Amino acid sequence: MLQLTKPLILASNSPRRQQLLREAGFEFTVKVKDTNEDFPNTMPAIEVPAFLALKKAEAFKEELDDQIILTADTIVVVENDILNKPKDAIEASLMLKKLSGRQHQVITGVCVMTKEGTQNFVDIANVFFRELTNQEIEYYIKTCKPFDKAGAYGVQDFIGMVGIPRMEGSYFTVMGLPVHRVYDALQPFFKIQ
């Protein structure tokens, strides 16, 4: 395990973020606070994930003691439209049809907050989907129920495996946590062995 000088708190219920942080060798506690995820309509899409990640971290500001708070938020952007989490199978199907045969961006914002300061940044990946058939979309929604995923898909799921021939950027950013950037941000807190 990577040793840090302060306890690390991951403020996310995402099983994928927890898995990635664990597999990267970090020990952490999960603690989540309900946060309003509204953002100004006029805000450029590229700024939204960092804005929301900071909002999630600031929910802990009052009780911030000697810990590191790590938050993240991921959005999918196609033709300047932000695709959030679908509310049902119909919306998921519409999102996947919109992504089918096209390129889109996945933008993950991250916030690392301590008493001493805050780092807030985004990482971007360009993802290319091949044309998806209606049967593939229906099968995916039925078997994987992607209602907790921005853009209605997980890159690690069936639709990502069969539908994404290439991407530019980090696979882990698309999964929801740019581990390479998080590692860099946490380096000042590594214990010297």
Tens digits of per-residue pLDDT, 7-41? Answer: 999 999 999 999 999 999 999 999 999 998 899 98
What are the pLDDT digits (tens) for 123-171? 999 999 999 999 999 999 999 999 999 999 999 999 999 999 999 999 9
**Catalytic residue status for 148:** no
Point out which residues pair with 117 in neighbouring strands: 114
User: Rounded to an integer, what distance in angstroms lies between the CA atom of residue 54 and that of residue 44?
Assistant: 16
Q: Give the active site residue among 73, 81, 88, 157.
A: 73
Q: What is the CATH number of domain 8-189?
A: 3.90.950.10
Domain boundaries, the chain: 8-189
Predicted TM-score (pTM) of this structure: 0.94
Buried b (16+ CB within 10 A) or exposed e, 120-152: bbbbbbebebeebeeebbeebbeebebeebbbb
Residue with tokens 């991921």: 74
